[in-house]
Structure 1
């Protein structure tokens, strides 16, 4: 069973059996890029033509198998890079059995001066992908020499990814006893038996989650929050109502669900070795949910049961990643077209009715179901706040304190507070810093930057000895340059070691070096910070954050010429992000060059129209230049886009 699973085929040595691609086919596009794989004796090679340059790389490993297969090549210093030309392993009837460019949804023309080009760090296997495609992998990265010496115990996701090699054999005698049962009158099954532990589901989440590693490699055993620090439904990775948007895997969505609250875990629906669902189609859902209640036209409002009206079509909508990989949302949403549009989140009805529009969907929904209220006041407040449509910010405290609301959503609500409040007191934050819920403690520690220096020293000490490493590391981050009471010195030093190990895990990419630079800057070591910012620029010349932070440091040091030279270097490297345009625009404002600043601020505001700060500063620049007509147009647009933000209503039309 396992041998035919996605886990078994997560990575393989290249062979005629492991390579799915039809080697007689080639890839070509309108940019004159060409790609193919050829076998020479017993070795497979990738033949590439990009930007008029022909290159040949040995295929080191196959990467995945379905619905797409990718290929790894060595580029020196132990770096394995993921080629962008992937094999669509789906059947021909689904437009498969062909080569395609993994970034086809954006552009095929990703030249080497783009940070998403396959030779750049973001396409590096060792750092981005490796720990979830091989068992007990360690990156073993040497930052000084930009060198990987990665190693693993099993090349694929084998036994050691889920089982402790030193543990006794798993037997029926140590298997928790219990089962899901539904009585004759019940709508949904309930767990009857011993309480379920979380070890199984946490083992799955180690890979099936968007998270930051705390250590170099991990084993199957141990608590999830001692190995990883998860994303807490942050925007823009998730939609305002919590639906998945970017490639966030399963943890964040599933932990929002009523199923998770009821104690359901992955192995209730998926086979533990082949990972496939235990029953195909609606039968899986009906093993717990009453057919009389849910397998009816009264419930789904669609005539008959067809492949297009399965439970998952409405409750687990798909999002396609990597061009061909359709993945389902695991929050098990209850569709509500009017609310979806109010929350600026996907309307699942339109995922099937693709020829219809927003108003049709709202009208059809109301015709079928009437006026359906939100699932709860908390869910409504949560989504409105994340969509920027909540004016009564104090309502967020009701969400955070709602013990019936999913813990991860309560934690995500805490994460909104820095956007709405400039300061909190220790008394306000203490109940959450000391919560029995680990994710609440983690979120509260993350936002403790809202505390005064005195309150941090008084209230964060206990988090240095928190049972979970993710919380301890976050506490260090908040206390790093804060006076530490004598009674916490020993605990602080121990937690700092964990913090440093966590930071080391991302040094292979510019973001990691930038974090290290920021740490030294916070410790009033500008020379060390400058060296690390420059190292970050060298490691990833196309990451905007390194330039912006270094330019800002030069500004603080009064080195105007160096500040301008950094912006010029960024522009020369074709970095045209909204943040770069905005920062460079502010530079020109400080130099009194308003014409240049207006152009850059306009580009930032247009490219990131959801950023109210960019929009506001752009408005001020238009006013300063005396562009009255344009100012009034942009002000009216901003008031429409941000109806709850008082700042756009505190200024007058001209």
Structure 2
């Protein structure tokens, strides 16, 4: 990233160059040393926007303009550095099929194209976003426009201070200084994570990552369950970053190859900073010299042809979103997955056997190398099924999760998909994964437990809210809220509260400009029956992005629920003393709205009239459980069962309390009773009196 000066701007801005896409025309011009793009703004008016920064140096050049409110917006046209032409982001990078309009989230002047938000933490060093939610403005500060030494070696202040002193002190200089992180002192995984700061498809959770820190305290990776970014075999589907693919490669998994095994960490004269020219297999021969002795015996292709080029088969290039992307899985071609699932493969790619069918390529591969494709096809099919919620995926996905020698990121993605399938038979796999030694697997298992919705996971999730890894703690906390966890002690209450507050504080510190974060917080408040807090969170999301779909949907549902509640209050209040059933209905409704004292008060009035009703007792149980008074809740649930021993919701309440306490046997026993009588309640088994 650089300032937009004549030294760095390489696009064609001479003589009012124009580019038109789907009826939208852009004009690029230069006046003195300032460059402009004429394009409609949010108001639809054509305006000349001055270019403040350029971004990109290899394949295309992106242009950014600064707004008065501190936003840096990504202008809608790019310059193709290879083809020497202009193109609209919608026809390439974002592949939308038409020009964006001001109503689109990805319109260039909207939040979806705000550099301070969308490009955060990669295209500059030591960036401090400094977003102010109240004013909806930025005061973003940068350490450097480029990637500097501290990004990979950690803070350098102590290093500089030491050597300034050491210049005048020979003895001090001889001792050396060790505050900077040397990559060679880290594990292979930690070395790759240094590069993953920028070269991973991820969400930033907190600022302050330093090389060697726990990566998942700061970032949450997109894994194989992300079907927008990855094909089910892990191949990138759109413009995505290579960390996930490389971390799952055999070269990394079995040989500890790191990024610097191929790329020069301080730059080189070769393409993409490779440490050797990849032509002729020279780069790969550094680790695989025996392959090069008789390359044709390995490839069944002519030695000088593309079929004997290591990269063409094991790291094929793809043209995605107007950019050439290299597959970093370092895997083998599997044309059979193309036949079955439409996943691209190296054999039939452009420049190779594109004129032949995938079936033809699969037959050749089978004849030359045997049945190596079978296991890979089985896995790919299972992941594809898992994304669709198909139970046929479970045997293979479960085997992946339970294989402790498997790629950790694949295991994490697999357990996430198991949760998506939602089959209760897979609950034991999720429970086992909650105790896994891998923080990735624990974090994703916590998500899966919330999705599958069985409170049997509560005792294990309860432990994870104090996990040493941030992403595990917060995912466990959100799933506990979803499962209606009833903390039995003050210590348990404080642990859950601490994890939720930690997420809200960290997220609003780094992602207060993300509507998704506010919506996530809103959903947690909804689950806790904190209606006003939920509404506030959704309104904040809509302040950031007025078209945020999830927040609009949740607000609409909350408005409908509020209208129904208000109508109920209006209808029954005048007649509360005439029909005691109305008082019961209103009391229960208030409890479910989170108005616990009011709801409990009404039900206690009914109770004081010596009327026995399992609905009243269970309503009181729910009220006290939600309020955190587990002892009273348990007493009222038990009383409901004494009155009517088939009342399902009373058993449900007792099960939630037992699981929350860690008494799995009692939890299982009451949950079975709940399931046994649930249909009775649904079919009118609930009696008012």
TM bracket (short chain)? 0.7 to 0.9
- 1:294 deviates by 7.8
1:268 corresponds to which of 261, 264, 284: 261
Within 5 Å, give how 1:110-129 maps onto structure 2.
Answer: 110-129=100-119
2:500 to 496, 500, 514: 496
In structure 2, distance between residues paired with 1:312 and 1:561: 66
CA contact (8 A) 1:477 1:499 kept: no
Contact between 1:14 and 1:62, CA under 8 Å: does it hold in 2?
A: yes
3-state SS of paired residue (2:241): coil
1:409 to 2:410 alignment: yes
Q: Could you tell me how far 1:529 is from its partner in structure 2?
A: 3.0
DSSP 3-state at the match of 2:403? coil
* Distance in 2 separating the partners of 1:295 and 1:432: 45
Cα contact 2:315–2:331 (8 A) shared by 1? yes
SS in structure 2 at match of 1:106: coil
Unaligned stretches of 5+ residues in structure 1: 1-10, 91-95, 180-193, 563-654
Q: Matches of 2:406 and 2:378 in 1, distance apart? A: 7
Write out per-residue CA displacement over residues 580-623 of structure 1, whole angstroms, 9 at most, x where no aligned residue.
xxxxxxxxxxxxxxxxxxxxxxxxxxxxxxxxxxxxxxxxxxxx
- Corresponding position of 1:361: 361
1:393 aligns with 2:394: yes
1:35 counterpart SS class: strand
Deviation at 1:479, TM superposition (A): 2.7
CA distance in 1: counterparts of 2:428 and 2:64, whole angstroms: 52
Residue 534 (structure 2) pairs with residue 529 (structure 1): yes
Counterpart among 140, 146, 152 of residue 130 in structure 2 = 140
Distance 2:191 2:492 in 1: 35
Superposition pairs for residues 242-391 of structure 1, below 5 Å?
242-262=234-254, 263-274=256-267, 276-281=273-278, 282-292=281-291, 296-307=295-306, 309-323=308-322, 325-352=323-350, 353-369=353-369, 371-375=371-375, 379=379, 382-383=382-383, 385-386=385-386, 391=392
Deviation at 1:34, TM superposition (A): 3.3
For the Cα contact (< 8 Å) 2:183–2:191, is it kept in 1? no
Q: Secondary structure at the match of 1:215?
A: coil
The residue number in structure 2 matching 1:599 is: none
Partner of 2:517: 512
Q: Helix, strand or coil for the counterpart of 2:277?
A: coil
Instruction: Judge conservation of contact 1:202–1:223 (CA < 8 Å) in 2.
Output: no
CA contact (8 A) 1:554 1:560 kept: no
2:199 maps to 1:201: no
SS in 1 for 2:63: strand
Structure 1 stretch displaced more, 501-510 or 463-472: 501-510
Greater CA drift, 22-31 or 80-89: 22-31
| C-alpha displacement of 1:40 | 2.9
Report the structure number with the largest CA radius of gyration. Answer: 2
Instruction: Tell me if structure 2 keeps the 8 A contact 1:163–1:221.
Output: no
Deviations 1:271-313 (A, max 9, x none): 0111611111221111101344686123222223235652121
Show structure 2 runs of 5+ residues with no match: 164-174, 568-689
Distance 2:542 2:534 in 1: 12
2:30 is paired with a residue whose SS is strand
> In 2, distance between residues paired with 1:449 and 1:221?
30
Q: Cα deviation per residue 1:80-115 (whole Å; 9 max; x = unaligned)? A: 10011111112xxxxx11221122143342221222
Q: Cα deviation per residue 1:40-90 (whole Å; 9 max; x = unaligned)?
A: 344333333689842012212111222111111123321110011111112
Which structure has more RCO (C-alpha within 8 Å, separation ≥ 6)? Answer: 1
| Post-superposition CA distance 1:407-429 (Å, at most 9, x none) | 21122111111233344798654
Deviates more, 1:476-485 or 1:418-427: 418-427
- CA offset digits 1:161-211 (Å, max 9, x no partner): 1122146489999899999xxxxxxxxxxxxxx994533221111111111
Alignment pair present for 1:483 and 2:486: yes
Distance in 2, Cα, partners of 1:466 & 1:162? 27
- Distance in 1 (CA, whole Å) between partners of 2:496 and 2:44 is 55
**Offset of 1:35 from its aligned partner?**
3.0
What is the 5 A alignment of 1:132-281? 132-164=122-154, 165-166=156-157, 168=159, 196-216=187-207, 218-220=209-211, 222-236=213-227, 237-262=229-254, 263-274=256-267, 276-281=273-278
1: distance between equivalents of 2:21 and 2:195?
41
Q: 1:35 aligns with which of 5, 10, 26?
A: 26
Q: 1:558-597 counterparts in 2 under 5 A? A: 558=563
Change (3 A) 1:339 1:35: closer
TM-score, normalised via structure 2 length: 0.70
Q: Quick check: 1:476–1:499 contact (8 Å CA) kept in 2?
A: no
Change (3 A) 1:533 1:308: same
Q: 1:343 deviation in Å?
A: 4.3
Equivalents in 2 of 1:199, 1:328: separation in Å? Answer: 22
3-state DSSP class of the match of 1:434?
coil
Q: Distance in 2 between matches of 1:424 and 1:106?
A: 40
**Alpha-carbon distance in 2 for matches of 1:142, 1:52:** 26
Alignment match, 2:446:
445
Offset of 1:532 from its aligned partner?
3.9
Distance 1:148 1:273 in 2: 32
Report the Cα distance in structure 2 between the residues aligned to 1:195 and 1:76, rounded to whole angstroms. 43
Matched residue, 2:55: 63
How far did residue 329 of structure 1 move?
1.7
Larger mean Cα displacement after TM superposition, 529-538 or 332-341: 529-538
3-state SS of the aligned residue for 1:492?
A: helix
> Is the 1:78–1:148 Cα contact (8 Å) retained in structure 2?
yes
Indicate the SS of the match to 1:460.
helix
Pick closer, same or farther for the CA change 1:238–1:386 going to 2, 3 Å. Answer: farther
